[in-house]
Chains A and B, each alone.
Chain A
């Protein structure tokens, strides 16, 4: 156990080098830049319209009601879109009743939620690190230096995998803290205790905002974990940094396109990328009709085990002859 901590410490020492600090710096500067942009555009919006949010929401609701009627006459897809409209109308009414202004882009939590899309950037960085962490040792020949020590290979591999996950966790914490701080500076902390309005079974529910943000992060982490594990496997199999980074990023960017292209086939639901976005099961539509949360979790678990077994077998069994 102590030895494992030592190994992870070693991996951290190798991960946290100049290029990694640049990646993390980029992440923070994106948060700050977004802070300026959103503040700026909000100010412009409020000066031009100059109406309070309650009036805005009421206006929005009247428009929604009209749209709802139109949609209901259409037939195809009516069920889904009318449900979405009804949900927004109900939440808006709840806000007006309970005096809860919309958080989007106007409170610290709104800012944090907006920036949760930057988790994909954390994924990108983590994938780059995962794709390099095994392959780079082979590229530089240091794998020999690493594997002639009195530690079984699986321990070395595990330490690398854990180090990548720790890096991803670090980056997520940095993103969260940075967006909370920047949001707090730009929008103040007055709205910090306001709840998030969820919607379940036709009723509006108040949810603790920190918990809500946490679930957004958690959903994104499923995607991150799977892609990092995939990149780690590619790294272990190909033993070449540029190839591993290239393939991993290619898959990251083309995964959803692939699912769209193949959406006519029913087996597309077994593809990894069709199951990565678990959030669709709470508010959205899955890639293939009839897919459920349980189904996706099972598929993901199967891929997770497969990727790890492959990287494990290849790393442990194959000769180091470079």
Chain B
């Protein structure tokens, strides 16, 4: 499939006082993909998203949406973007329906039929005439999504969309986003600090830390790139096993405690180890393989710092 960039960040910088909040970020979000924007709290995810929406000014660089610049051509650029920034904040004293009417009036050319359509799409038909203050967080989230879809955008940007959703809600939301990306060929950008979720939801992931974009990869590459796994053997003689390891993999660090010894190796070396142990008469009573999760990868990349 042809790759068509919808949103383009080009050397975007944001400086507040002397502090670089966003430091030279460049990436594209393409049609039909879900792009994950991953980083610890305070890394600059929300600021970057606010810049895309024109809520926060761009110090340097440019953000283009369908080729229109947010800085110079705001109305045209933003016309094809829908989204939620931080929480889906609505007018709580109005009904869900009135909130949608409020949005529809701002876009100008949205029919009543279209409003009903998105309401049905997010499954809020039963409660849409109720005031938003009676909604649960999950329902607010759905109303937010309905509002974001109203004008058939080509880019949807969601900031921490699964905050406050229960596991069933998260699953439903994920299915929904996937459908929008695949069927409607919409570009979707999602930010989160929840790694496991991103692993399940996204096609590509950009990792941001201290305002810098430190890596962009597809989720599959991300997980497959290094096949190194940590293997833990449960053996009857740990000292013997350690000597054996030292012979096989010089300079490899091993961790041993009581009857367990762990080593980080390529997974196709496991049979070699088993046969080597057999030769030396070391009895193996258990093997445990741990492939690195996105989480560990993330900590590797960010150096383990939680909150920047």
8 A Cβ contacts from A1-31 to B: 2-3, 6-7, 9-10, 13-14, 17-18
Task: Write out the residue numbers on chain B whose beta carbons fall within 8 Å of the beta carbon of A6.
Answer: 105-106, 108
Binds B, one of A123-131, A142-150, A249-257, A292-300: A142-150
Q: Judging by beta carbons under 8 Å apart, are A13 and B78 in contact? A: no
Residue of A nearest to B80 (CB): A150
A306 at the B interface (CB under 8 A): no
A151 at the B interface (CB under 8 A): yes
Q: Judging by beta carbons under 8 Å apart, are B89 and A145 in contact? A: yes
Q: For the complex, give the distance between the alpha carbons of A13 and B107 in Å.
A: 17
A37 at the B interface (CB under 8 A): no
Q: Judging by beta carbons under 8 Å apart, are A9 and B89 in contact? A: no
A70-82: CB near B (< 8 Å → 1, else 0) gives: 0000000000000
B81 at the A interface (CB under 8 A): yes
8 A Cβ contacts from B83-136 to A: 83, 85-87, 89-94, 98, 101-103, 105-108
A150 and B50 in contact, given A319-B57, A320-B55 (Cβ under 8 angstroms): no
B147 at the A interface (CB under 8 A): yes
Task: Write out the residue numbers on chain B whose beta carbons fall within 8 Å of the beta carbon of A142.
Answer: 89-91
Q: Judging by beta carbons under 8 Å apart, are B107 and A150 in contact? A: yes
B53 at the A interface (CB under 8 A): yes
Residue of A nearest to B75 (CB): A150
Q: For the complex, give the distance between the alpha carbons of A150 and B91 in Å.
A: 19
A56 at the B interface (CB under 8 A): no
A148 and B78 in contact, given A320-B56, A321-B50 (Cβ under 8 angstroms): yes
A149 and B55 in contact, given A3-B108, A144-B86 (Cβ under 8 angstroms): no
Q: Judging by beta carbons under 8 Å apart, are A140 and B92 in contact? A: yes
A66 at the B interface (CB under 8 A): no
B54 at the A interface (CB under 8 A): yes
B175 at the A interface (CB under 8 A): no
Task: Write out the residue numbers on chain A whose beta carbons fall within 8 Å of the beta carbon of B94.
Answer: 13-14
Q: Judging by beta carbons under 8 Å apart, are B106 and A149 in contact? A: yes
8 A Cβ contacts from A137-162 to B: 140-142, 144-152
Q: Judging by beta carbons under 8 Å apart, are A319 and B105 in contact? A: no
Task: Write out the residue numbers on chain A whose beta carbons fall within 8 Å of the beta carbon of B47.
Answer: 321
Closest 3 CB pairs of A and B: A141-B89, A6-B105, A149-B106
Can you list 23 A-B contacts with CB-CB less than 8 angstroms, sorted by A residue number? A2-B108, A3-B108, A6-B106, A7-B105, A7-B106, A10-B102, A10-B105, A13-B94, A13-B98, A14-B91, A14-B94, A17-B93, A140-B89, A144-B86, A145-B90, A145-B103, A148-B54, A150-B75, A319-B50, A320-B55, A320-B56, A321-B47, A321-B55
